[in-house]
Chain A
Amino acid sequence: MEKNILKFKLNGEDMELLVTPDETLLDVLRDKLNLTGTKKGCGKGECGACTVIINGNAMNSCIIPAMKAMNKEVQTIEGIGTAGKLHPIQETFIEEGAIQCGFCTPGMIMSSKALLDKNLSPTREEVKEAISGNICRCTGYVKIEQAVLSAANRMKGKNQVGEGE
């Protein structure tokens, strides 16, 4: 099959690789780049486990042809924080008990981040809507919603400190 050069920015880094037209962005992330943090729960855009942020919007990477990421900025769970330097959303997910089996967690965090990057004072309803495409079978969503609200407060606090400096 014919291959094309895909150029995009992944977690802040310029990437260039060959992909076939039938490869999804998820295939490229997981199989070619070994970024297995992004999960495949259904392959049909129905569960949200594969959520990544593309140019600021949460998207299901399992139904996006890889070439659609051309010249775009893609963020995955690996790009937002690490064990020693967690993103506030990761911190609150851990602290509030919002993580059980963990399979939905990366997608859930990316959907939450896409929301909070635009709106640091969401209502619970807005949080629910932002994660409504992400299925979690373990938690009942309550602790996840609480974690997102707590993260918003924490991020707001940080921003205010930042503004004051």
Chain B
Amino acid sequence: MNKTYSVVGKNILKLDSIEKATGTATFTCDMKLPNMLCGRVLRSPYPHARIISIDTSKAEALPGVKAVATYKNTSRVLFNTSATATFTIPPLVPVVDQYIFDSVVRYVGDEVAAVAAISKKIADEALKLIEVEYEILEPVYDPLEAMKESAPILHHSTESKNVPGEKIHMEMGDIEKGFAEADRIFEHTFKVPVQKQAQLETQGAVAKIGVDGSITVWCTTQTPHPTKRILGTIFNIPYSKVRVLNPPYIGGGFGVRIGLSAKAEPIAVALALLAKQPVKVVYDRKEDFIASDTRHGGYVTVKTGVKNDGTFTARKLEGILNGGAYCSWSTEAPGVLGAMGLSLYYCPNQMYDGHSVYTNTTPAGAMRGFGNPQAMFAIDSQMDIIAEELGLDPLEIRRKNIMRPGKPWVLPYPCLSSGLEECMDKGAAAIDWGRRGKLNTGDSKKRRGIGMGIGTHVSNAWPFCGDYSNAYVTVQQDGSIHLATGIPDMGTGSTTALKQMVAEILGVDFDKVKIAYADTESTPFEIGSHASRTCYASGTAVVAAANEAREKVLDFAAKTLNTPKEDLDIQDNIIFSQPNPKISIGLDETALKAHDQGHQFIGVGSIIPQNAPPYLAQFAEVEVDIETGKVKVIKLVGANDVGKAINPLVVEGQLEGGLAMGIGYALMEEMKYDSKGKQLNTSFEKYVLPTSMDITELQTIIVEANDPSGPFGAKGVGETGLVATAPAIANAVYDAIGIRFFEIPLTEERVFKEIKKSGIK
């Protein structure tokens, strides 16, 4: 049963929303500093080439140009733009394969040079004056091709040709025995597309160099502290002299800037060092599309052994992902694909093998869901194939096989909570599951169908990479509370949720808590926002800090009131004895008394989080126009076990946004290339993502299976919204027209072709 709280679980309005609604919220692109220059980047027109010569003299001579940066006059320290290299768990070694600029370019859009000038116009003019001579090298675009002996080598790899970092292998039980026990074995390969985060604010950074050599960078990163370390390393500056902060808002993230914001930060710093003036680098939309991380596309193969009653006996999963030109998150994404792919269902004998492959395409990195949507499109599409072959209801075959607390899985942490079955039942009721298969009568050109998909995810990044959090809480002399945590707030309500936790524990009004965040100078080390971790992992640190402060307050108050500490509680800013509430003292009075005696109540939270599985079940009703191939989502239901909704309105927002992005992944969005390695989708007109006209009814259902490891029982929620949207929609399309798709997105073109092939009329 859920405990009653006074602040947690309430729809406290996000304070940032007032500034955002009135246009006073500041983002990196809004920054202006005295004497600030505009930085612009020259990018490679070729997918793979060596720079034979580069002449910047004409650009440097242009009036108004203050610096031109190339590989010849900038840092030669290798790095990884993603934060992963800052918390790779030994004995694994971080993959560092990028310079700010290199003498070899590996994808169309790769950085060749940059200019800082007094205006954007002059900087753009100067870029045209840089003369570069290239030796064209052979490119490769497909991950399967790039593994072949004949393919060009993009980077030195220790493990296998063009494979960044380690290959991932996981197993449990005896896979051969499991397949031998099966009545039926199913094997299918699915192809998944490259999706783009398409966050509304493009990558950006403003860098300023101090007289003591310190650097300050305002930027769009989701992880200020790890970014500080990356920059300190690249420029060989003590970390203590690097300050990274958001100003304080970020126009969305979805994983695209976990670590650096593409290369905006190091380019801005390099130019600022050369020009000795502050420099602002803001990518235009085309640069953001072609030269900042994408979701991994690739291939997922699922082989499943089942008994005739639908019980799994063995499952083998394989993922081969297109990592693009540089590693970024390409060692971790295949790990999450495998771990989530194996752990959603219980199967005693299971195995995963997966890895990424370098190709001459835009680097793939982190995007909401991180390998998991790729796994789930394959796994939960196959689930429906198996159900149909065995004559079972897709809902029931899932119910039979889902992971349940107490059962073993490949993950190194236990499954302590699951609201998955409740999600399935509530979602099925919301879509009216009984209508499935019975929606089409007559010969309408528009066919309806219902489908489902389920999923799980993580609540922080461990064990895929390191994870820990620090926070501290100080009680002010008037009893108000200051919280310091290094998280950013991308608009996901993190700062509001963490303040709610602190207010709850210290028994104060929400408005009395002020939070310092998104700034490395005022907060202790904290990884930041990724892996659905902020509420769960950062929240655990914040709760620990608040609890320590509370203990100190109560120790002091117990002496003041001459009452046993165990009897005391704090509510509405008053410390009181529970057996005798008349024995009480204000938190303000207590804090001031302590201050007069030379003491402040300080609570520090330093935690290494466990992990916990959020769960979800999604149900889609679609309409397929068999004359055009257009798939319209009539209704999408997302039932989600979030552990505990700290702020239900914020949770709904996360889930709805995830569902919409999932519709894009399933039906519309794909980054494509021409035969010369050039991206075809470089603007919002050419990369079609859902608008208000594409989204009909989204229904979110919150299920709260409190997890004992999470703050107030909470689990991750930021990514779960889109984990199973693609299979839910693809299964609904199958219900509507009887065509199984092994590749997404289900664009009109793709669906129309298959309808023609199948002869449906």
Q: Which residues of A contact B (CB under 8 A)?
A: 30, 34-44, 46-47, 49, 76-78, 81-83, 86, 90, 93-95, 97, 99-106, 109, 127-129, 131-145
* A47 pairs with B684, CB closer than 8 A: yes
Q: List B residues 675-700 near A (Cβ within 8 Å).
A: 683-685, 689-693, 695, 698
A104 to B649, CA, bound (A): 19
The A contact surface, by secondary structure, is: loop
Q: List B residues 1-52 near A (Cβ within 8 Å).
A: 11, 13-14, 16-27, 29-30, 32
* A138 pairs with B653, CB closer than 8 A: yes
A47 to B685, CA, bound (A): 9
Contact for B653 among A82, A102, A143, CB less than 8 A:
A143
* B21 pairs with A137, CB closer than 8 A: no
Complex contacts, A135 vs chain B, CB 8 Å? 198, 200, 684, 689, 691
Question: Contact mask B180-208 → A, CB, 8 Å, 1/0?
Answer: 00000000000000000111111000000
Number of chain B residues close to chain A: CB under 8 A? 56
Complex contacts, B24 vs chain A, CB 8 Å? 37, 78, 83
* B695 pairs with A140, CB closer than 8 A: yes
Residue among B13, B251, B284, B493 having the largest count of chain A Cβ atoms under 10 Å: B251
Give me 15 A-to-B residue pairs in the complex whose CB atoms sit less than 8 angstroms apart, sorted by A's number.
A36-B29, A37-B23, A39-B201, A41-B200, A42-B684, A46-B285, A46-B685, A81-B22, A83-B19, A93-B17, A94-B21, A102-B19, A104-B200, A128-B692, A134-B692
* A44 pairs with B692, CB closer than 8 A: no
Complex contacts, A34 vs chain B, CB 8 Å? 32
Residue among A41, A129, A134 having the largest count of chain B Cβ atoms under 10 Å: A41
Complex contacts, B384 vs chain A, CB 8 Å? none
Contact for A42 among B32, B250, B683, B698, CB less than 8 A:
B683
A77 to B20, CA, bound (A): 10
Complex contacts, B656 vs chain A, CB 8 Å? 139-140, 142-143
Contact for B284 among A43, A109, A141, CB less than 8 A:
A43
Are A140 and B22 also in contact (CB < 8 A) when A94-B17, A145-B692 are?
Answer: no
* B285 pairs with A41, CB closer than 8 A: yes
Are A43 and B21 also in contact (CB < 8 A) when A94-B13, A135-B684 are?
Answer: no
Residue among B32, B657, B698 having the largest count of chain A Cβ atoms under 10 Å: B657
Are A101 and B491 also in contact (CB < 8 A) when A37-B24, A77-B22 are?
Answer: yes
* B657 pairs with A138, CB closer than 8 A: yes
* A43 pairs with B695, CB closer than 8 A: no
* B200 pairs with A99, CB closer than 8 A: no
Contact for A99 among B14, B202, B684, CB less than 8 A:
B14
B60 on the interface (CB 8 Å rule)? Answer: no
Complex contacts, B29 vs chain A, CB 8 Å? 36, 39-40
Beta-carbon nearest neighbor of A101 in chain B: B491
Are A139 and B657 also in contact (CB < 8 A) when A39-B200, A101-B491 are?
Answer: yes
Shortest CB distance B309–A (Å):
39
Contact for B200 among A47, A109, A131, CB less than 8 A:
A47
Shortest CB distance A13–B (Å):
16
Q: Which residues of B contact A (CB under 8 A)?
A: 11, 13-14, 16-27, 29-30, 32, 197-202, 249-254, 284-285, 490-493, 649-650, 652-653, 656-661, 683-685, 689-693, 695, 698
Are A105 and B698 also in contact (CB < 8 A) when A41-B285, A44-B685, A135-B200 are?
Answer: no
* B684 pairs with A90, CB closer than 8 A: no
* A138 pairs with B22, CB closer than 8 A: no
Residue among A37, A135, A138 having the largest count of chain B Cβ atoms under 10 Å: A138
A78 to B20, CA, bound (A): 11
Complex contacts, B251 vs chain A, CB 8 Å? 39, 41, 101-103
* B649 pairs with A94, CB closer than 8 A: no
Beta-carbon nearest neighbor of A30 in chain B: B30
Complex contacts, B649 vs chain A, CB 8 Å? 97
Residue among B22, B24, B25, B684 having the largest count of chain A Cβ atoms under 10 Å: B22
* B200 pairs with A83, CB closer than 8 A: no
* B684 pairs with A103, CB closer than 8 A: no
* B653 pairs with A101, CB closer than 8 A: no
Shortest CB distance B618–A (Å):
13
Are A128 and B13 also in contact (CB < 8 A) when A97-B653, A104-B200 are?
Answer: no
* A140 pairs with B491, CB closer than 8 A: no
Beta-carbon nearest neighbor of A95 in chain B: B13
Are A42 and B285 also in contact (CB < 8 A) when A95-B13, A103-B200, A137-B252 are?
Answer: yes
Complex contacts, B285 vs chain A, CB 8 Å? 41-44, 46-47
Are A106 and B23 also in contact (CB < 8 A) when A39-B29, A101-B249, A145-B692 are?
Answer: yes
* A38 pairs with B23, CB closer than 8 A: yes
